Amino acid sequence: MFFFKSFRLGLICALFFSSFVAVSRDSGVEADEQPLMVVTASRKLQPVTHVISSISVIESAEILALQAIDVIDVLQLQTGVDVARNGGPGTAASVFLRGTNSDQVLVLIDGVNVSSNVTGSFAWENLPASQIERIEIIRGPKASIYGSDAVGGVIQIFTRQSSRFEASYTTGSFDTQNLGLSWGLAFDEGYFSAVLGSQKTDGFSASNSAGFAFNPDDDGFENLSANIQGETRVGRATVGIKYLHTKGDVDFDQGNSDSENINLSLYYDAPLARGWQHRLQLSAHTSELETAVFNSLFDSNRTEVNWVFQRPIDIASDYSHDWTVGLQWTRDEATIPVAEGAISGSFLDSDRRNTALFGQWQTFIEQHQLSVAARYDDNDAYGSEVTGDLGWSYDWGSGHRLKALLGTAFKSPNLSELFTQAFGGATFFGNPDLEPEQSRNLELGYVYQQGAHVFETSIFQNQIDDLIEFSFNADFTEGTYFNVDEAEISGLELSYQWQSNAWLLNTNSTWQNPVNTTAGSSERLLRRPKFKWNLSVSRAFGDFSVGSQIRYASERADFGGALDDYLTVDMTADWRINDDWQLGLKLINLSDEEYEFARGFNTMPTAGFLNLRWQL
């Protein structure tokens, strides 16, 4: 066993070294000088070089090159991101950002908060990669801009916009049959786009003999998705609508679960006097999960109004200010109908409202950048919260930049934790006196960006108090939630990206120590490795390209004992036959590595998929 682990680590070091050798052979190619623009860091469009927070941006070309099936395939390769999955495509998935819990990550789709207010997490498994145009990941707290949930950071997904007719078909292992159709039209005053998708696979056995009620049958998955959006100008204003609807059906050993997620947003952008701009967005999110075999149905609804005013920096000035102020109103509603066997009373059927005021000020003074942000939240369930952050960066020239951030964040209890009345064969109470979980984060970083090269490193420490835990009484007849736990997460991140006309290389590594510090404990938090490393590299040869993705993670703690470390290798190939046709091949887990993200649940064995794309 020691020999094989040593061999793996040696292979990692060799691959890591070889990637830099490849770079050194062709490092004279200049990158596009146009600045990369991002939105998520401060709720407005700005150059990525004006963002002090650690940020990763995954654009459509990279998603297409990965030939990803769903969003998890993309996220598992990113800096500071860990994933866990209970089987294959369609099975329940969790995403951990900088070691925080999966419900301590704010997830947005086109600016809409899509986390369930019953579970506190987003149903990642139901979002196909074919519906994604771009992903922005902010690592570190952003409660001062977004409020609750942004303890580990923010992941914002922008849905795909099509400008022509396109069709794609994927087939391969486990009788996978995926179909995508899209059509779009761009005109002088706006655009219209519709993207439709269908996924179907017989899958493989999601669980193994270490799991509960193991049945070695195939666990299939079906998913339908529709993304419709449009935008037009009305005078000096821009008016738009975005609609995303996904519907999934996944099998597991005891039965199957049906899920449905709907996101709808309407927005209005317009200029104001003295260089100010404002954006008013009305949005709604609905998520529903039904598992008939357990007679359970969770129905979550959120309505939100965001009104953001911003005055951008005058980049040509040596001394300038950037202002963002906003109002946010949110209403969360949830229903869990009474199930057979409930003791008494009614299940969760409640709602809460939150009103917030937030603002951010940034200034540039010669080579220094300073950012101050604060937010006030007033919630009718748990009272008020004040959060803030302070950021500084120094550009000493030649692409070198230092930065430091200090911020606070919070995670509000979900509606189930607050108001549930009974469940199953035991009395199960929510606790309406729960307080939000609290976080304090410190981060120091360095960025080097010159030509085609981007290198970034960050060290961080996040202390989280008042973590919510469920516990039973001594005879297990009654249980509820309490604010009792504490955690500390410290870590180091390294990432490097290089791109030329033919090569594209991304590599990153994360060292982290996520531990439960309650009552002096140092127990590791579950399913988060101490070390992980990713490498994505591709090479174009005219109309043909090949690529490889390598993932390594050290052992992780889990229920019942540690999960072994793993090293997986995937490969992709793509051939642009002509201007209209493109053929892709993806091979997964070439070494047929047997590993687990969660104890008792399998991951994908060696598999292959063929993808054909046509555009008109």
How far apart, in whole angstroms, are the C-alpha atoms of residue 108 and residue 41? 12
Identify the band that residue 373 occupies on the pLDDT scale cut at 50, 70 and 90: very high
Residue 216 near residue 205, CB atoms below 8 Å: yes
- Per-residue model confidence (pLDDT) at position 308: 97
Mean pLDDT calculated for residue range 196-200: 97
Per-residue pLDDT tens digits for 507-539: 999 999 999 999 899 999 999 999 999 999 999
- Per-residue model confidence (pLDDT) at position 319: 54
- Per-residue model confidence (pLDDT) at position 7: 43
Q: In the structure encoding, which two tokens stand for residue 482, read together?
A: 């309490």
How far apart, in whole angstroms, are the C-alpha atoms of residue 111 and residue 155? 10
Per-residue pLDDT tens digits for 376-417: 999 999 999 999 999 999 999 999 999 999 999 999 999 989
Mean pLDDT calculated for residue range 193-206: 96
How far apart, in whole angstroms, are the C-alpha atoms of residue 388 and residue 144? 5
Given a cut of 50, is residue 343 above it in pLDDT? no
- Per-residue model confidence (pLDDT) at position 75: 97
Kindly state the percentage of the chain with pLDDT values over 70: 90
Which residue has tokens 């761009």?
186
How far apart, in whole angstroms, are the C-alpha atoms of residue 157 and residue 68? 15
CA distances, 598 to each of 70, 106, 240, 345, 555 (Å): 19, 22, 41, 35, 11
Which residue has tokens 């973590």?
467
Identify the band that residue 211 occupies on the pLDDT scale cut at 50, 70 and 90: confident
Mean pLDDT calculated for residue range 153-177: 97
Cα atoms in the 13 Å half-sphere on the side-chain side of 338? 7
- Per-residue model confidence (pLDDT) at position 19: 41
Q: Which domain holds residue 41?
A: 2-615
Q: Return phi, psi of residue 8, to 5°.
A: -60, -50
Per-residue pLDDT tens digits for 581-610: 999 999 999 999 999 999 999 999 999 999
Residue 239 near residue 229, CB atoms below 8 Å: no
Per-residue pLDDT tens digits for 31-44: 446 778 999 999 99
In angstroms, how far is CA 176 from the centroid of its own chain? Answer: 25
Per-residue pLDDT tens digits for 17-65: 444 333 333 434 444 467 789 999 999 999 999 999 999 999 999 999 9
- Three-class secondary structure of residue 10 per DSSP: helix
- Per-residue model confidence (pLDDT) at position 21: 38
Distance, first Cα to last Cα, the chain: 54
Per-residue pLDDT tens digits for 71-118: 999 999 999 999 999 999 999 999 999 999 999 999 999 999 999 998
Q: Which helix (H) or strand (E) holds 12?
A: helix 2-25
Q: How many domains does the chain have?
A: 1
DSSP classification of residue 377? E
Q: In the structure encoding, which two tokens stand for residue 282, read together?
A: 């009305």
- Per-residue model confidence (pLDDT) at position 514: 96
Q: Return phi, psi of residue 529, to 5°.
A: -75, 155
- Per-residue model confidence (pLDDT) at position 26: 40
- Per-residue model confidence (pLDDT) at position 314: 61
Mean pLDDT calculated for residue range 160-182: 96
How would you class 550 by CB atoms within 10 Å of its CB: exposed for 0-12, middle for 13-18, buried for 19 or more? buried
Mean pLDDT score of the chain, rounded to an integer? 90
- Per-residue model confidence (pLDDT) at position 234: 96
CATH number of the domain bearing residue 322: 2.40.170.20
Identify the band that residue 212 occupies on the pLDDT scale cut at 50, 70 and 90: confident
Residue 239: name the closest of 310, 189, 185, 186 by CA: 189
Look at the pTM and tell me if it is higher than 0.95: no
Which residue has tokens 């991951």?
603
- Per-residue model confidence (pLDDT) at position 313: 66
